[in-house]
A and B are shown apart, each in its own frame.
Chain A
Amino acid sequence: MSHGHGHSSHTQSHAVEIPAPQTKWIWKTFWILTAITAFEFLIAFIKGPLHLPHLLVVTVFITLTLVKAFYIVADFMHLKHESKTLIMSLALPIIFILWLIASQLNEGSYVFDAIHNFHNFLTK
């Protein structure tokens, strides 16, 4: 980048000094995200050999995903520094998604019974 530096200095020579970068918090978040992803990989590889219960594995994966999502939205997208009303107006509509997940996964298993398990479906 050094070839461009002299070029910009003549437009900025009279401007105020550029402050030093403050990037420590960015790299902290980066390491958190990388460590969580690495941990997810570890589980993906050991869950078979160790015969970890499927429900436990899925719960851990989903929890870690939500933790990663929190760090991306709060830190990288700066949402934790926005006004509380803005945070709430973005967070509350997620309720509709939670409802959709609950209803459609439930509905999916009914469709499963209708296709693969018709006798059970009739007696349900």
Chain B
Amino acid sequence: MSAAVTTHIDDSKTLWGGGVEPLKASYGKLMMWFFLLSDTFSFSGLLIAYGFIRFSNLAHDPSITGFSPDHWPIPEHVFTHIPFWHGHAPLVFVGFMTFVLIMSSVTMVLAVEAGHRMDKKAVEKWMLWTIFGGFVFLGSQAWEWSIFIAGIDGHTASLVSNPYGPPAFADLFFFITGFHGTHVTSGVILNIVIFFNVVMGLYERRGSYEMVEKVGLYWHFVDLVWVFVFTFFYLV
């Protein structure tokens, strides 16, 4: 207890002398957190726009078989395809994508944990797995987009028209999953840059793997956003 009090007094002495981290987090980490807060607002704007537009359209009518251009579709009727199999598998592929992102979030924390122990080889290994997971997710999303755009019986999906429901449904699909996919893409690029620095021994020489932690924050945020996209675009 007395040690803590001493530290506190030291802090107040040097508070304006530089070298003190406000909120006990480094500048880079704080800025990443506040950037992610602003990004939360961007994604909230998109998902709330989805709610607004869905609420201003006619809800799905169970008495109509198939899709109607006037009624908002039920997502599990739209996303029913999985690769290499021609059966009816609602939401299975998007479940796989969700699992891939959770898994790559786990490998990212494992990289951060290895960084705390200054275990260069383990950081390299887990960063590589994280990058791999990112590519699997992006490939899956590209496949899902191509199936979505291919549409039904020659009626393709675009920004002006789609076979599933009102035009806004496809617009929001492209904007929301696209904006998220763009984030995954930049996350993969950042991860590759940091992986390269790890391999070159930059953080080993610096004596800290905090950069891995900072890109880790971004990567987890991308996973976090997907959790919400999954619920509000695919489940409800």
Contact = CB atoms under 8 A, between A and B. Distances in A.
Contacts of A58: 236
Contacts of B122: 21
Interface in A92-107: 93-94, 96-97, 100-101, 104-105, 107
Interface in A63-99: 64-65, 68-69, 72-73, 75-78, 82-83, 85-86, 89-90, 93-94, 96-97
Contact of A76 (B76, B120, B220): B220
B188 interface: no
Contacts of A82: 23-25
Nearest to B70: A116
A116 B76 contact: no
Contacts of B99: 34, 37
Interface in A104-124: 104-105, 107-109, 111-112, 115-116
A64 to B, nearest CB: 8
Nearest to B112: A78
Interface stretch (B4-12, B135-143, B151-159, B227-235): B227-235
Interface residues of B, number: 59
B37 A90 contact: yes
Interface string B197-236: 0000100100000000100110011011001101100011
Nearest to B38: A93
A11 B56 contact: no
Given A40-B235, A85-B23, A8 B120 contact: yes
A13 interface: no
Interface residues of A, number: 57
A21 B25 contact: no
Interface in B38-78: 40-41, 44-45, 48-49, 51-58, 76
B37 A101 contact: no
A112 B55 contact: yes
A88 B223 CA distance: 22
A34 B227 CA distance: 12
A61 B98 contact: no
Interface string B68-103: 000000001000000000000011000100110011
